[in-house]
């Protein structure tokens, strides 16, 4: 960190993400909710900065940036909730590893309460943003099992894109494994997408099980257990997601500036070039030898008129 950045500090949502409280987007929501305070002063607007020596609290509890970044893959059983807390006191997915990992981790994306399978946890907010951003197009493979037969025409329509209510859903690929089970790959994964899509065709899902996220699979991870991601796996996510999901300041449209062409040093498009000067009476051509000269106020001469058309006779 440079001396100037140390003086100015870091943006509050960045600091909260480094504390393991979620992605930058979720930390924006957290800061706007009024639950965060800096040096005892409650924050009510975005854009505040945390400087060295500042004390940041969330719900009255002091938080600090993590000393190291942790990335784990968890095999979530059904009946566990992906959340930091639950007023109904249901089991939390984070409880499955909290006794083994002292750092405070948050989930990347989510699996609903009844779904099972692979989910990532980390305390790296930037990593979570890259992996979960829709533009990153990270593949997520699911095994779905249904209560009645799945018509392949329905899966073909899903692959082409189908609209349910006001939302359009589209799977990246599919493969039927039987009359009532299929492998479906998504690259965006809207909220409760699979359940909404199948429910629109009155197909009840008996099981939604995530098998893979990018290069990370459930292979070797028993239900309720986890493993740490390798450096190679973390590097894969960053390299594949970073070009696809750049951060851009909102409210500043991208402007297109045409590149200069040979013979056009200004580089302006035709619609942007200034209008040519108005033509003078009689044209801009220099009069030839013997042509009459037109002075100021003189009326331009007209050329010879065409002979009138010969009248046609009566039609025969």
- List, by residue number, the catalytic residues: 112
* Contact criterion met (CB below 8 Å) for 228 and 72: yes
Q: Rounded to an integer, what distance in angstroms lies between the CA atom of residue 112 and that of residue 114?
A: 6
Find residue 141's DSSP bridge partners: 185, 212
Contacts 24+ apart (CB under 8 A), 221-226: 221/73, 221/74, 221/75, 221/118, 222/75, 223/75, 223/77, 223/116, 224/75, 224/77, 224/96, 225/74, 225/75, 225/96, 226/72, 226/73, 226/74, 226/75, 226/96, 226/97, 226/121
Q: Is 75 helix (H, G, I), strand (E, B) or coil?
A: strand
Q: Is 235 helix (H, G, I), strand (E, B) or coil?
A: helix
- What is the token pair recorded at 45? 């607007």
- What is the token pair recorded at 94? 């984070």
């Amino acid at each position: 960190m440079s001396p100037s950045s140390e003086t100015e500090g870091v943006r509050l949502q960045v600091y909260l993400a480094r504390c393991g409280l979620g992605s930058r987007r979720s930390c924006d929501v957290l800061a706007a909710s009024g639950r965060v305070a800096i040096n005892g002063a409650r924050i009510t607007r975005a854009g505040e900065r945390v400087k060295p020596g500042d004390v940041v609290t969330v719900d009255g509890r002091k938080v600090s940036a993590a000393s190291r970044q942790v990335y784990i893959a968890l095999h979530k059983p059904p009946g566990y909730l992906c959340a930091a807390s639950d007023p109904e006191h249901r089991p939390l997915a984070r409880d499955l590893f909290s006794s083994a990992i002292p750092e405070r981790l948050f989930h990347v994306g989510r699996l609903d309460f009844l779904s099972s399978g692979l989910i990532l946890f980390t305390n790296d907010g930037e990593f979570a943003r890259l992996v979960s951003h829709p533009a990153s197009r990270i593949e997520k493979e699911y095994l779905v099992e249904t209560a009645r037969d799945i018509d392949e025409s329905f899966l073909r329509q899903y692959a082409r894109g189908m609209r349910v209510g006001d939302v359009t859903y589209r799977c990246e690929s599919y493969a039927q494994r039987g009359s009532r089970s299929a492998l479906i790959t998504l690259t965006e994964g809207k909220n409760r997408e699979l359940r909404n899509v199948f429910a629109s065709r009155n197909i009840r899902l008996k099981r939604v099980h995530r098998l893979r996220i990018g290069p990370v699979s459930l292979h070797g991870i028993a239900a309720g257990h986890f493993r740490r991601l390798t450096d190679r796996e973390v590097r894969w996510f960053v390299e594949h997601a970073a070009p696809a999901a750049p951060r851009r300041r909102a409210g500043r449209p991208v402007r297109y500036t045409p590149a200069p062409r040979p013979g056009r040093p200004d580089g302006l498009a035709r619609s942007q070039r200034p209008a040519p000067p108005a033509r003078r009476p009689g044209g801009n051509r220099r009069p030839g030898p013997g042509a009459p000269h037109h002075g100021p106020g003189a009326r331009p001469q007209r050329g010879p008129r065409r002979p009138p058309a010969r009248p046609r006779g009566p039609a025969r």
